[in-house]
Structure 1
């Protein structure tokens, strides 16, 4: 009997040891992978120095400047992940070094690509590199010309058309952007990014059915794309398909739980369905994740007004206004909503101030002007009764 008891204990001990080794190997693999990433970022940084030396040694070689531009962009892309990993691994000096170096990379890349093109205007990769760097730098208007040049010189490369489409999108040239994304898909039918951006350009043109189809195609190719679920939810909300929109927003949250926009979209459509407690929870989560997200304060305030929680609604609007002031946001909608809540509380002088502030930001807001006149009329009537 004794041996019969001991044998299972031995199996149990070896099972625990095996599990421990498996867990150790699992986390060890991630640990090793993170250090490999850091080494790769350091290697990318060293390449910049090497290519700089080559441009100094060969100042008339366009390829040298092209390689330098590419090295800047490679480091710019890899350093973002490197900064996060270095911070997690408590390598703060490395994280800070890359954090300060990263912002310079785009402008340095633009200089390098422009130099390459001065030396050889036909260098197609330099046109694409310049296109890429300018789009990422937020200079989409300037990016269109080199992006277009890249598509003209290499019309069969899908990425050239994709980045031209992105530059056009940022400039709100939706029809031209749509054509670029369709060309991308003609060359590369399984490009999930192209379907996603095509959906955005179609949605901007109010081609909602086509946009939904594009988003669904993108999701089929990449089921873990949280932004695509988000935009699909927006499109379905426009189509007045609330349950499908809610499901899309929830899927976006499932894929990336700590990203605030789908909570805001979910809050709005739940409020439209009069599911006020759920809507309130969604807006509160959006605010928790991104406290300066003023749209969520507006949405939550409106839900609270519907629930007749006027004191909390007013406090919520005022908190949103604090953030608007910090961000120098010039949208006056939240002042109008605050005024409506104050009117319901019979706080007419405060409501009048709020409506006037709304009109200061949006002088053509007919609703705010009408509400201001109504509040002033009610206040005058109240004061007249008191004088009697």
Structure 2
């Protein structure tokens, strides 16, 4: 028991690290005038969701079942009855800590879709409301005792439905309410710091081992299978994304490599303990290619998903969840396992996977649209066009990320042009 507890605590810490990793991944992809706001949106999610989870979120997700839809929010208010060292800690406080990190990063994932334009206060309000009305109940549907998706027999080892489809669908709903960034899509809005993007992807990959292998709730062979499949699928997805880029655009990019890594991590999440190596490779390659294609849909359909949350998380989550109906194999699970269509099983599991994915997608998107309008009515939703153009960092946080002029408090200092001109003239004279 002590070894399992140690592994789960370690996994919880790894999953928490994923949110700062996500902050850098997203932060590198926005323009320099928006990077602090992007970091703050991710860190803000940690604060808001961390508090809500401990007060009533865990109870809504894992309390006694109410009609297959919700855990009783009064069972563990303020973690009552759980803050004790007795019993199995993996079913008590350690489980609370581990699952808290899932709730946090699910909300943080949505932030990338609304980069550059959403008020910080509006974002925190939306995140808290969405977690309460969507994430906590959906976590119960999938993992709670008596939740209807779990009872249906859907396979979701670590969060393809509850985390990625959930967040991706919410991102789509929210951007439809907020509208497009000023200048999009005519103005080029390129990533300002690709090393940040790759650093963030690396931190996400590192933390994801806690996300997937930690979901075994034991330091055992199942955790090992989840770990290995996480490596396998992610490598395949990165190569798939890069190959598509090379064939389509003539170049394989660092942004593509980082995005392919995340697409693979997303897709293998629900499947990591249910597939063999061939299944993991198939999921990875298909996710890498389809997500690389899906990020272009926003230009055709006209929705401004700033950092491709829909293209990577919604599509990647759908790939991993649905493909389980094809490539799940009992050979890695044992006699209680399920075989997908390609491993001698029937179409029943495929139908279950599709139903669960669509149910979460529709519910999350619809509620996100409603909450988006509510938050917009209360707070205005987004910054003014003037503030968006000048920089959301300065407008929302009174700071800038880069102080090239040597000013104080993150603001550029005034420059004495006569001194600059004089120094330039001296430099030219010394060269001659």
Q: Which protein is richer in helix relative to its size?
A: 1
Q: State whether TM-score is above 0.5.
A: no
Higher relative contact order (CA 8 A, sep 6+): 2
Bigger Rg over Cα: 1
TM range (shorter): under 0.3
